[in-house]
Each structure stands twice: as C-alpha cells, then as structure tokens.
C-alpha cells in the first residue's frame, strides 16, 4: 500500500526473448539449481541493483528507496516480461533506479540460464510511467 506522502514512481518494462527449451525446462522446474531458483534470484539481484544505482551511474545521487517491486511473467514459450516499480518519498524521479533494476534482473536470468542456451535476447526496455521529478510520464 502506497501512503499519500509517497509517490508512485517509474514502472520499467523489459521483454526478454528466450528459446522454447528454456520455457519447457522452467515449466517443469528441472532447471539446474546450482545458483538457486532463477526468477527469485533475479528479483533479489534487481532489488540490489536499484539500491546501488548511484554507485553504477556517474552523477546519479543516492536515494532513500521506500519500496521496490519486481515482477517476472512468462508471456509465452519464447518470452518473459519483467516489470520494476520503485517508490520513494520526495520530489525526485527514480527512473534510473527502475531501469537499472529491470536490466540487472534480465541479466541475472540470462546468467542463470546461459548453460542451457545462449540464444536469449534482452530487448525493448522502456519507461511505462513516472511521477515526480521535473515531469510526469505515462507511456503505456
């Protein structure tokens, strides 16, 4: 639940295209678990990335993040969708934090699945919605 003093901040969307073999393996839950469960591990990595954005991008100042929500959805046999939402109290926008979170989540999925196939493609990263900062944006 977002309090009135909090602003709903950027939603970032990323489509990741993979191969049918990965879909079948994940669906049957037979993905090798050496590094842990794929989506849960990727979400943790994405949350960590949101918190470390200021260390990765020059001139991006550290922020007190109130909440991060990352959702990974299997759309079909060849694609997944990752959505990252970041919430902060204050006037500044956090689109860079959300973009970093969604990209690191996708890279973690790639890293954990690359032993099965390296034909995955990460693409179509876009800002869906942003409130706060200098302007509000809605690109759904």
Q: Which domains does the chain have, with CATH numbers?
A: 6-131 (3.30.70.640)
Q: What are phi and psi of 125, to 5 degrees?
A: -90, 125
Catalytic (active site) residue 136: no
Q: Higher model confidence: residue 128 or residue 26?
A: 128
How far is it between the farthest Cα atoms of the chain?
A: 47
Does residue 100 surpass a pLDDT of 60? yes
| Distance of alpha carbon 18 from the chain centroid | 16
In degrees rounded to 5, what are phi and psi of residue 2?
-95, 125
Q: How many other C-beta atoms are found inside a 10 Å radius of the C-beta of residue 40?
A: 10
pLDDT grade, residue 140 (50/70/90)?
Answer: low
Residue 110 CB-density burial (10 A; 0-12 exposed, 13-18 middle, 19+ buried) = middle
Query: Coil, strand or helix: which one is 88?
Result: strand
Catalytic residue among 69, 71, 76, 111: 111
Between 22 and 89, the more confident residue is: 89
pLDDT confidence of 8, banded at 50, 70, 90? Answer: very low
Q: What's the confidence (pLDDT) of residue 117?
A: 77
Q: What is the mean pLDDT of the chain?
A: 77
**Where is pLDDT greater, at 103 or 137?**
103
């Amino acid at each position: 639940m977002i309090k009135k003093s909090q602003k709903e901040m950027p939603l970032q969307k990323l489509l990741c295209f993979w191969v049918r073999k990965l879909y079948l393996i994940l669906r049957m839950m037979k993905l090798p678990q050496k590094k842990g469960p794929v989506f849960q591990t990727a979400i943790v990595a994405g949350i960590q990335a949101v918190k470390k954005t200021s260390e990765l991008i020059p001139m991006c100042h550290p922020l007190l993040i109130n909440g991060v929500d990352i959702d990974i959805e299997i759309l079909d046999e060849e694609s997944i969708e990752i959505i990252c939402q970041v919430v902060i109290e204050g006037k500044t926008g956090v689109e860079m934090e959300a973009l970093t979170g969604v990209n690191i989540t996708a890279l973690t999925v790639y890293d954990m699945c690359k032993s099965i196939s390296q034909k995955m493609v990460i693409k179509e990263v876009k800002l869906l919605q942003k409130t706060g900062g200098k302007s509000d944006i809605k690109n759904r």
